[in-house]
Amino acid sequence: MTRSTIELPVTADDYRIARYAAAAIALTVAEAALPSPLPGIKPGLANIIVLVVLTRYGWTDAAWVSLLRVVAGSLVIGQFLAPGFFLALAGALCSLAVLALAQHLPPRVFGPVSASVLAAFAHIGGQIALARIWLVPHDGVFYLLPLFATAALVFGTINGLVAARLLAIPVTAAVTSPATPSSVKAAP
C-alpha cells in the first residue's frame, strides 16, 4: 500500500468513536438482512451501542456514533440519499434530541431502559413526521402509528435491557485505553 502523503492528527477520542461506530454499523448491516413485516419496523440494534456510548462517554460521542452509523451504514447497504436514509436520519436526530434531555433524568431512578424507550419513540416520531411531510401527502401514515409505537416499545425495552446489561459490567482496560495506530493499520 502506498504510504499516505497527508497525515491527519487522530486523537484517542477519534479512535474510540470510530470503534464504537464500526460496531454500530456492523449491527445495522446485520439487521438489514432481517425481514421486516412493515417498512420502518426494525429492532434498531445499533441503538444499543449509542446508549452504551451515551452513558460511558456522554452525548457528543453518542451523537457522533449515531450519525456516523446512519451515514456509513446507508453507504454499506446502498441506501445513501435514498428515502430510507433520510427517514433514518430524521429518526436518529430526533432520538438524539430526546437523549440529550433524557440523560439529565436522575440516574438513581431511571436506567438505560428509560432512555432507550424514549429514544425509540422519538425515532418513530421523527420518521413518521418526515414521512408525512415528504413522502405521504395525507394522514394515512398515522393509521400505522399504533403498530410503530408497539414496535418502539418492544424493541426499545429489549435494546435498553441489553445496553443496561452491557453497562452493568465494569469497563475493562481494553475499552478505556486508546487503540494504538499500529493495531488500526493492521486491520484489513
Partner 1 sequence: MNERIPDGLRELLAHATAAGHLPWRRLLKPGDWLLLVCAAALVAASYPLLWRGGVADRAIVRRDGQLVTELALNIPRKYAVAGAIGTTVIEVQPGRARVLSDPGPRQYCVQQGWLTRANAVAICAPNHVTLQLAGRSGQNGAYDTLNY
Q: What b/e readout covers 97-112, taking b as 16+ CB neighbours within 10 angstroms?
A: ebbeebeeeeeeeebb
Closest CA relative to residue 118, chosen from 142, 97, 88: 97
Q: What grid cell was written down for 59?
A: 452525548
Q: Which stretch binds partner 1 (CB under 8 A): 15-23, 66-74, 82-90, 127-135?
A: 15-23
Pick the closest to residue 73 from 24, 130, 14 (CA basis): 24
Residues that contact partner 1, how many (by CB under 8 A): 46
Give the distance, in angstroms, between the CA of residue 30 and the centroid of all CA atoms in the same chain.
Answer: 14
The greatest distance separating any two alpha carbons of the chain, rounded to the nearest whole angstrom, comes to 56
Q: How far apart are CA 86 and CA 52, in angstroms?
A: 24
Residues 61-90 that bind partner 1 (CB under 8 A): none
Single out the residue of 145, 177, 180, 181 in contact with partner 1 (rule: CB under 8 A).
145
x-or-dash string of contact with partner 1, 17-56, rule CB under 8 A: --xxxxxxxxx--------------------xx--x----
> Nine-digit cell at 86?
433520510
The 105-144 site mask, x for binding partner 1 (CB under 8 A), equals: xx-xxxxxxx--xx--x----------------x---xx-
Mask: binding to partner 1, 153-182, rule CB under 8 A, as x and -?
x---x--xxx-xxx-xx--x-xx---x---
The residue ranges that bind partner 1 (CB under 8 A) are: 19-27, 48-49, 52, 105-106, 108-114, 117-118, 121, 138, 142-143, 145-146, 149-150, 153, 157, 160-162, 164-166, 168-169, 172, 174-175, 179, 188
